Structure 1
């Protein structure tokens, strides 16, 4: 029988709760981190060295060697604090969270592919005494096959999903806010989740609580996240259509938008993802990018390298204008 999140937490002492999509996904780790702490599991939250264009106009994730005021744990992992930034002066969302929470956060770099991430994470687990990994995707595109209409950013999520299935410690995939990133529609998310559940991959679900909202309300305004902010709005009773990315995408909020679903990442990889298994052996970001391209799966790296965002950056209120 598949163990639930609660069952796995009972066996854990310390968990890494990582935002797996880059950008503001680290904000979405806070509710799950809080819940694990209520279960007496120590936690550290974190995300990728990959910020959205509104924060970092340079394409792709930053290398660990490009970080300032960080504590490297391996070639692809580091601890961040309130002063952590890139050499070009970009302050990571993880630094903002570190300042807000008063504790170090975690950064993962995918420039060495999935193999580099696996190696770096396993090294970090040993150094930090971590025995449970929870990867949080805000919105749910990690649950996409990769050929659905409306998808834009499958690279980071797919690489993380692949890495999670090969780590030395137990792993859980969490998806907060079905559809709040404006990529997959709710019906597709529910259908794919049901397929995972039919194979024994459903590990539980949890809604945002008032205490979660109290923390999120203090944090969200200092970041450039939209997706987690919408999940919080749903928890406060907002329902219906709303625009994000300055009208570039449309989201339909429902009470489901305030839930985090917990799933078995291996079953998601095997039953849903077109490219997940193919990414496991990659040793560079470009190698992973090529696999997505060959399989017709959209990548945020293509979006960034082609500077597509410049077409509407001036209208994006979250942007500093780019460069």
Structure 2
């Protein structure tokens, strides 16, 4: 059996994309690797609150006892949704499912099974943004549970583990001013070369943090507005940095990870999150889903439209939105922000974005859209730099 590197995407789909880039930087993009990730996605993708488990999918590959691999042919069982199958088709590393319903203890068993299958002797645990080192009391913290469970599970395996935090602050969960003293100096920085295997996913994947990380690695610098951010973020040289921490240090920084050690159910993990952080993100998802159901609001805006507007109409709508956004001092935006603020259906999104790409004057582009005061000259994305 060919030895594979074992990586864990600490928080789900966006971290799986970042894990592929970190793997490319550490070991080379073509080195065999397995990325373990949660099937835990936004309600607009998966309308069922909380994470999915292997039984919620058909077409997974049972690689070993306790290890289910996601393939391009894997499908979520309705009403669940998932973007992991197209990620499995797009990313070079294989993807394996993490099932958190057995708490940190259950996750540790899955990680150990994956390590045996890979022939791996160590783990690389990857997080984009930095909520993996959250103290739990940050007012902007939204989703610490998956990351903290992964930390506690890696500790339970007893395997040597390095924790990599890429793009500090890009997830808008822990303020950059608080992250800097916790993370120290970066171990290395991602470059355009490390992004080559993931560029295409941002045409359809909503991860904003990993999109900004890719843009920063490709040389984009400036003020970026995302859907999730309470305020615009500034992409600078530090935004492409990757920080390496030991597992013990990460446990010291994360009270929630310490509280999760020995947990055997997801319910117990939720309760620990309430005690440490004052909330459960799964409970928040349940509340949003119930509110949407009561209001009769479709989770995909205007999904029932049958006749899409013309490209010219969409371009006009975008141009008006663009002028307003530029007036707020924002230079770059994510695909997700455009799609959600203009309430685009998938068909409308394809029409608009294809139209904007047609105006590009460079062959390669980073996954952010550069706003311009004159949409008639060079519509489209910021070209790759550096």
- Check the 8 A contact 2:58/2:76 in 1, yes or no: yes
- Check the 8 A contact 1:82/1:95 in 2, yes or no: yes
The equivalent residue for 1:208 is 190
The equivalent residue for 1:280 is 261
1:54-69 correspondence runs (5 A): 54-69=44-59
- Check the 8 A contact 2:11/2:38 in 1, yes or no: yes
Unaligned regions of 5+ residues in structure 1, if any? 1-11, 195-201
Distance 1:302 1:211, change over 3 A: same
Report the 3-state secondary structure (helix = DSSP H, G, I; strand = E; otherwise coil) of the residue aligned with 1:261.
strand
1:54-133 correspondence runs (5 A): 54-73=44-63, 77-88=67-78, 90=80, 92-101=82-91, 104-133=94-123
Task: Indicate whether 1:251 and 2:233 are aligned.
Answer: yes
Alpha-carbon distance, 1:24 to partner: 1.9
Report the 3-state secondary structure (helix = DSSP H, G, I; strand = E; otherwise coil) of the residue aligned with 1:275.
helix
Alpha-carbon distance, 1:180 to partner: 0.8
Distance 1:296 1:167, change over 3 A: same
CA RMSD of aligned residues (A): 2.9
Q: Which has the higher contact order (CA 8 A, sep 6+)?
A: 1
Alpha-carbon distance, 1:57 to partner: 1.7
- Check the 8 A contact 1:24/1:93 in 2, yes or no: no
Give the stretch that moved more between structures: 237-246 or 51-60: 237-246
- Check the 8 A contact 2:17/2:91 in 1, yes or no: no
Alpha-carbon distance, 1:98 to partner: 1.9
| Greater radius of gyration (CA) | 2
- Check the 8 A contact 1:177/1:258 in 2, yes or no: yes
Task: Measure, in 1, the Cα distance between the counterparts of 2:203 and 2:232.
Answer: 21
The equivalent residue for 1:9 is none
Within the candidate set 184, 194, 207, 2:174 is matched to 184
1:115-264 correspondence runs (5 A): 115-194=105-184, 205-245=187-227, 250-264=232-246
- Check the 8 A contact 1:54/1:224 in 2, yes or no: no
Give the stretch that moved more between structures: 300-309 or 207-216: 300-309
Within the candidate set 272, 277, 280, 1:291 is matched to 272
Within the candidate set 261, 270, 286, 1:305 is matched to 286
Task: Measure, in 2, the Cα distance between the counterparts of 1:35 and 1:103.
Answer: 13
Task: Indicate whether 1:50 and 2:27 are aligned.
Answer: no
Give the TM-score, by structure 1 length: 0.83
Report the 3-state secondary structure (helix = DSSP H, G, I; strand = E; otherwise coil) of the residue aligned with 2:8.
strand
Unaligned regions of 5+ residues in structure 2, if any? 302-335, 346-386
Alpha-carbon distance, 1:172 to partner: 1.1
Alpha-carbon distance, 1:103 to partner: 6.0
Task: Measure, in 2, the Cα distance between the counterparts of 1:246 and 1:103.
Answer: 28
- Check the 8 A contact 1:14/1:130 in 2, yes or no: yes
Cα shift readout 1:219-246 (whole Å, capped 9, x = no counterpart): 3223221111011122233334433226
